[in-house]
Structure 1
Amino acid sequence: MENNIKVTIDGVETEVPQGTTILQAARQIGPEVAPPAMCYYKPLEKSGGKCRACLVKVVQGSEKDKRPMPKLVASCITPAQDGMVVENYTNEEVVDTRKGIVEFLLINHPLDCPVCDQAGECHLQDFSFKHGTETQRFEEDRRTFEKEDLGPNIKLNMNRCILCYRCVHTADQITDGRCHGVMNRGDHAEISTYIGQAIDNDFSGNMIDVCPVGALTDKTYRFKNRVWFTKPMDAHRDCDKCCGEVHLWYKGEEIIRVTGRKNQWGEVDEFICNTCRFDKKETADWTIEGPAVMTRHSVTSANKYRKDLIAKPSFAVDYAKHHYKKINDDRPYDKNLKEIKASEDYKALMEQNKDFKLLEE
């Protein structure tokens, strides 16, 4: 097509429209080359450029100017150029830098995953698992805040906030009269409302969906269940305010949570209104379509879906491939105790453990 450009990311070439960012081009190729993103959210204009999680190395600026960019760049806000060559997971500097980004994000973030409602679908959990380190060098006291009610339906736990600004962009772009934002500066920066105002409008609940961590939570769902014990179902209803297409999260026969439908990047494509989210908690209110298909790897898929409906986490498969010994499944298996005792493996084990009897005579 005219005005399209060619970009190469981790050795894979793709063709995208002029004006596409590096991150969007990488996502077009697939999750195997797409950088992580904690603040970028495609449906929200001007989002991105704050968390630095998506930094990449541009080794060739363009076909016309083949010089590399001197520093790592944020792929979510950097436009791709024709002939650009980008390294993401294949670049050691990028991988090492991401470890530092994780360390910075966890400086003040409490390790309260066992009690956090976001556990199991938290982007920071995924990011730290894939790119983090086992230790942290920060020794000073963490910032602490009191929990705050942002209106009748939303609870703010500022201790967990990573200041991604997603909720601020959401309130700016899809609600009437934003009354919250980032207060103060530097280490004192926090999300809060203006002069104690309450957030209460028809689409305010979407701030819960866009939050990548457990900073903004649904007060009607808090502490009711862990996400991997619930059963998500696709459903819709005729709504005069929004698209009416949602995930219903069941605990037995009870609907304990309603959320917007998310894609494989964890982003809601269509925002839903507060009526659908908070007020319609009966099965009779909805037309059930069937089990929700998890297009993004998630623990909610565990033991619930056919293999063709599960998105396997690529990072776990890659980790196992490089760190665990491959099992030879063609080897013969001993089926009874007598055969086990006659095997060379058993004899060698007994020789190493002369003082113990592993199997009774």
Structure 2
Amino acid sequence: MKVTIDNITLEVEPGTTIMQAARMIGPEVAPPAMCYYEPLKGSGGKCRACLVKVTAGSEKDPRPMPKLVPACITAVQDGMIVENTVNEDVLETRKGIVEFLLLNHPLDCPVCDQAGECHLQDFSFEHGVSSTRTVEERNTFEPTDLGPNIQLNMNRCILCYRCVYTADQITDGRVHGVMHRGDHAEISTYIEKAIDNDFSGNVIDVCPVGALTDKTYRFKSRVWFSKPVDAHCECEKCSGKATIWYKGEEVIRVTGRKNMWGEVTDFICNGCRFDKKKTADWAIEGPTNVSRHSVISANKYGANLIKPAFPVLQAARDYKQINDDRDRSFLGIQPALPKSKKK
């Protein structure tokens, strides 16, 4: 099937969603996603962050769709034309979506462990506004321990359902979910039951905000002060492929490896995540490939990065050399001789 997204045409297989097709083009075209998580079946359609405008439904029926549609759950039709970043209505709608997501979400980024790798931060920066129109009090919750290694800060939760799908699909039995309805809805366990299965730590990795955090890592370091490296180990329960994060010589946390969209490709067990906190436990493969646009890459891997020549190019383009023949002998500097008189 042929589909055109932001004036770029490509061919995709039947059953491909608009989100998947846009990701084939690249991050500059792909819509943002707060609830969609490709490895999790059934995810998507909750946050509305990926709404796009379909200006032509298909080649057979070129009429536009009357409303914006979520790219993560809308299948491509042959001849479909989609507008994402080039449509003003889409960009204006996303401002409203950011405003809704931040209705109860506290702006506590300076103390949140997710800062620096938070998808909501990126979404707010790219599409949000700097002011709020609400004066009502926010919903507030007390931090809750969901077992010995996971803490829930429900104040930050945006009800994306990722952690629920993760527990459903990769654990033996889910003991947490969304309780209540409407503006009282919250992520919780049944009568404060602990989440203690072998793969429970993966709910931390899939959370797009700082609602579910690793208690062994809380307040230890900012993510841009740590150094992520790819490593693997021999494990009977999982693939053993992980990213370990150093602060100096200390391993401060272990996470699943993520792709360019921030999605874990291989879920890891709790033994690898919480218990193996020594370099000797791992076989180091090398530095994690981090996008240069990410704050995580700041001041790291200097020998492996090519510094941009932008300042030099800008100076050559915007400035001209000055022929300065002033007498500066009082500074101990001899005036420059013309090129023809230099020996």
Deviation string 1:173-198 (CA, Å, 9 cap, x unpaired) is 00111000000111100000011110
Counterpart of 2:34 in structure 1 is 38
Matched, 1:86 2:82: yes
Compute the displacement of 1:32 (Å): 1.1
The correspondence for 2:276, drawn from 280, 290, 301, is 280
Compute the displacement of 1:134 (Å): 1.6
The correspondence for 1:98, drawn from 91, 94, 97, is 94
Amino acid aligned to 2:189: T
User: Within 5 A, what are the aligned runs for 1:38-77?
Assistant: 38-77=34-73
Question: Would the aligned equivalents of 1:264 and 1:296 in 2 still touch at CA under 8 Å?
Answer: no
- What secondary structure is seen at the aligned counterpart in 2 of 1:234? strand
Counterpart of 1:232 in structure 2 is 228
Question: Would the aligned equivalents of 1:265 and 1:296 in 2 still touch at CA under 8 Å?
Answer: no
- What secondary structure is seen at the aligned counterpart in 1 of 2:10? strand
Counterpart of 1:154 in structure 2 is 150
CA distance in 1, matches of 2:52, 2:181: 28
Q: Quick one: structure 1 residues 295 and 262, their matched pair in 2 at CA, closer, same or farther if it must change by over 3 Å?
A: farther
The answer for unaligned runs of 5 or more in structure 1 is 313-325, 340-361
CA distance in 2, matches of 1:11, 1:334: 46
Counterpart of 2:103 in structure 1 is 107
User: Within 5 A, what are the aligned runs for 1:288-303?
Assistant: 288-295=284-291, 297-303=293-299
CA distance in 2, matches of 1:197, 1:169: 18
Amino acid aligned to 1:13: T
The correspondence for 1:332, drawn from 317, 320, 323, is 320
User: Within 5 A, what are the aligned runs for 1:210-221?
Assistant: 210-221=206-217
Amino acid aligned to 1:37: A
Deviation string 1:7-46 (CA, Å, 9 cap, x unpaired) is 1000001111100100000001111110000000000000
Report the aligned-residue RMSD: 2.1
Q: Quick one: structure 1 residues 283 and 164, their matched pair in 2 at CA, closer, same or farther if it must change by over 3 Å?
A: same
**Identical pairs, percent:** 74
Question: Would the aligned equivalents of 2:232 and 2:241 in 1 still touch at CA under 8 Å?
Answer: yes
Please say which of residues 287-296 and 240-249 is displaced more in the overlay.
287-296
CA distance in 2, matches of 1:69, 1:283: 54
Counterpart of 2:263 in structure 1 is 267
Q: Quick one: structure 1 residues 133 and 184, their matched pair in 2 at CA, closer, same or farther if it must change by over 3 Å?
A: same
Deviation string 1:218-275 (CA, Å, 9 cap, x unpaired) is 0000000000000111100111111111111001100000001111110001101100
Deviation string 1:34-72 (CA, Å, 9 cap, x unpaired) is 000000000000000000000000000001110000000
Compute the displacement of 1:136 (Å): 1.2
Compute the displacement of 1:217 (Å): 0.1
Runs of 4+ in 1 over 4 A off after TM superposition: 306-310, 333-336
How many residues were matched structurally?
Answer: 322
CA distance in 1, matches of 2:222, 2:283: 25
Question: Would the aligned equivalents of 2:291 and 2:297 in 1 still touch at CA under 8 Å?
Answer: no
- What secondary structure is seen at the aligned counterpart in 2 of 1:17? coil
Please say which of residues 239-248 and 211-220 is displaced more in the overlay.
239-248
- What secondary structure is seen at the aligned counterpart in 1 of 2:139? coil
Q: Quick one: structure 1 residues 138 and 225, their matched pair in 2 at CA, closer, same or farther if it must change by over 3 Å?
A: same
Amino acid aligned to 1:332: K
CA distance in 2, matches of 1:296, 1:70: 39
Counterpart of 1:7 in structure 2 is 3
Amino acid aligned to 1:331: Y
- What secondary structure is seen at the aligned counterpart in 2 of 1:239? coil
Instruction: Give me the TM-score of the superposition, normalised by structure 2.
Output: 0.90
Please say which of residues 293-302 and 147-156 is displaced more in the overlay.
293-302
CA distance in 2, matches of 1:17, 1:227: 38
CA distance in 2, matches of 1:154, 1:243: 22
Q: Quick one: structure 1 residues 297 and 143, their matched pair in 2 at CA, closer, same or farther if it must change by over 3 Å?
A: same
Matched, 1:195 2:205: no
